[in-house]
C-alpha cells in the first residue's frame, strides 16, 4: 500500500483511496499531484502485469522516478 500525506493545507480535508494507495491531506494542488502520481504508478504496474507487493524496492523506485517522483536524500541537507 502506498501512503501519501500532504503536509500543506487550504482548510479542506481530502482523502483519496485506490487499490494500491491511500492519500490524505494537502492543498487542492498537492492532493491532485499525489493522486496523479499514484494513478500513474498503478498504471505502470498494470502494464508490467505486476501488483505493488510483487515489485522489488528498486523496481518501485524506477517506476516512481519514471512518473516524476524523486527520492529525497536526507544526507544532502
pLDDT in tens, 32-71: 999 999 999 999 999 999 999 999 999 999 999 999 998 8
For residue 61, how many C-alpha atoms fall within 13 Å in the half-sphere facing its CB?
Answer: 6
In a domain, 50, yes or no: yes
- The boundaries of the domain holding residue 64 are 2-69
Quick one: cell of 43? 498504471
The reply to whether 76 falls in a domain is: no
Q: How many domains does the chain have?
A: 1
The three cell numbers locating residue 52: 505493488
Look at residue 25 and tell me if it is in a domain.
yes
pLDDT at 77 over 70: no
Q: Is residue 75 domain-resident?
A: no
* Predicted structure pTM score: 0.87
Amino acid at each position: 500500500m502506498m501512503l501519501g500525506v500532504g503536509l500543506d493545507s487550504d482548510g479542506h480535508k481530502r482523502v483519496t483511496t485506490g487499490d494500491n494507495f491511500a492519500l490524505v491531506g494537502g492543498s487542492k494542488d498537492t492532493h491532485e499531484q499525489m493522486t496523479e502520481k499514484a494513478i500513474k504508478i498503478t498504471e505502470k504496474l498494470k502494464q508490467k502485469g505486476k501488483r505493488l507487493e510483487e515489485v522489488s524496492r528498486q523496481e518501485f523506485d524506477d517506476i516512481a522516478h519514471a512518473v516524476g517522483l524523486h527520492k529525497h536524500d536526507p544526507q544532502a541537507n
